[in-house]
Amino acid sequence: MQKYSLTTRIIHWLSALIIFFMFISGWYMVELDYYSPWYNRLPELHYAVGMVLMFVWLVKIIRLLTGYQKRLSPPVKPFERILSQLTQSLFYVFVIGLVITGYLMMTADGQPKILFKTINLPSLTQFSGPVVDTMGWVHEYGAYLLMLFVALHIIGAVKHHFVDKDDTLKRIL
């Protein structure tokens, strides 16, 4: 069995961990009470880990475009291949969309964002309240849709492992 390269496997599982954290932290932070000790800390973590995700996916996209991230094709039915390629392509759309809307919302007041009193993230442009609200809506529903595709992706991997009993899951482990 040919496994994915170590770099591809690290990027895959690191992305899975970060995306899971991003969803839980985002969901939780907007509900926090002003007096909670996490009121400022959790959004800062959401933004900082989001920057790590941006960096990891920049590397991922560069590897994809330069042919370093190869796709191994197990003997699957044509419709399964189309479904998995569609799901995985949508990951790029949603992750890139969430990073862009997240960054623009975070710095929408025109001020640079300083995380943990050290990391300085510049504001690219200023946005009015209604535009920020629209971006917030896109970001929120984008995150829900991303989770839906992640669930489909996991169901596919589990089916390959336990029903078809092929090496699809083992290749990425």
Binding site for ligand HEM (CB under 6 A): 19, 22-23, 26-27, 30, 46-47, 50, 53, 95, 98-99, 102-103, 105-106, 136, 139-140, 143, 146
Q: Could you tell me which of 81, 56, 92, 93 has the C-alpha nearest to residue 168?
A: 81
Q: Identify which of residues 74 and 136 has a Cβ nearer to ligand HEM in the complex.
A: 136
* 121/51 Cα distance (integer angstroms): 10
Q: Identify which of residues 42 and 84 has a Cβ nearer to ligand HEM in the complex.
A: 42
- Cβ 95 to ligand HEM shortest distance, Å: 5
- Cβ 75 to ligand HEM shortest distance, Å: 32
- Cβ 65 to ligand HEM shortest distance, Å: 21
- Cβ 51 to ligand HEM shortest distance, Å: 6
Q: Identify which of residues 26 and 156 has a Cβ nearer to ligand HEM in the complex.
A: 26
What are the residue ranges of helices labelled H in the chain?
Answer: 6-29, 38-65, 78-106, 129-162, 168-172
Q: Identify which of residues 60 and 139 has a Cβ nearer to ligand HEM in the complex.
A: 139
CB 19 within 8 A of CB 154: no
- Cβ 100 to ligand HEM shortest distance, Å: 8
- What pairs with residue 113 in β-bridges? 121
Ranges assigned E (strand) in the chain: 113-115, 119-121
CB 6 within 8 A of CB 171: no
- C-alpha of 95 from chain center: 4
Q: Identify which of residues 47 and 127 has a Cβ nearer to ligand HEM in the complex.
A: 47
